Amino acid sequence: MGKVDNGIVSVNAYGVYANITFPLIVKIFKPKGTLKESDKYKTKIELASEIITELMESGFNIELVLADSLYGEQRVGQLCRLEATANPEGESSQFIRKVAEYKLSYVVSIRSNHGVWLPAGQSVRANKWCKFERTFSNQKSETRYIREIIYGKKRAITYWEITTDPETMPENSTSFVMTNLQGNLKKILGDLYGLRTWVEYGFRQCKQELGWTDYRFTNFQHIER
């Protein structure tokens, strides 16, 4: 609420290539109370979906899409992990459907209480924690832990928890992620999702360089420019 009421909210696509972070597209989110008669209200999910379409139509070769839980979830209602009812694939978010439309690989964050609709008789289980070495952009590494959460039977979409401490599961260093990547992900998924942190860091740097927090424009077109 603070960002919407007191500042500018934007939806941003950033690229990472060889440890270089660079901006691709930015779209300003316009709260309903700021719209003019000629404006059309669009949610952040809709803006993110438009960004994916624009990037693909511009000819970008996207190897992997990373996003936070706003874009990974965006569900109607809230399910608990042990829910057992009829829809085995669950409801995917509008953003995930757009990514799937272009057959893109993704690793997205989801809520810790994420749930999937399961047929009767199927349950949820967590595999054992596995150690892996999280390698950072400066080539230093630290020990992390990862485990797969399996909803009923194995599917094309898999779910994983990644943490620095499996005993305490600290909130600021624990992630619950969903991916359509295949193969042995225990050793690589932590590093792949860790790129999102690198993007966030690069984004903060760019905002400071651009004076994003010091803008004086009130016209959305000028702010975007």
CATH of the domain at 95: 3.90.350
Q: Is 75 in contact with 40 (CB distance < 8 Å)?
A: no
Count each helix (H run) and each strand (E run) in the chain, helices first.
6, 9
E-assigned strand segments in the chain = 9-17, 20-29, 65-67, 106-109, 124-126, 130-135, 141-151, 158-163, 174-179
pTM of the model: 0.79
Note the pLDDT tens digit of each residue in 112-129: 777 777 788 888 889 999
For the chain, the average pLDDT equals 80
Number of domains in the chain: 1
pLDDT value, residue 209 = 66
| Separation CA 125–CA 19 (nearest Å) | 36
* pLDDT reported for residue 86: 30
Average pLDDT over residues 140-146: 93
The fraction of the chain above a pLDDT of 70, given in percent, is 79
Containing domain of residue 19, as a range? 2-224
Q: Which residues pair with 21 in a beta bridge?
A: 16
Q: Which residue has the higher pLDDT, 93 or 202?
A: 93
Task: Judge whether residue 82 has pLDDT over 50.
Answer: no
The model's pLDDT over 187-208, given as tens digits with 9 standing for 90+, comes to 899 999 988 877 777 677 766 6
Q: Return the minimum-mean-pLDDT range out of 107-116, 124-133, 168-177.
A: 107-116
**The tokens of 158 are what?**
């898999």
User: Percentage of the chain surpassing pLDDT 90?
Assistant: 35
Mean pLDDT within 23-47: 86
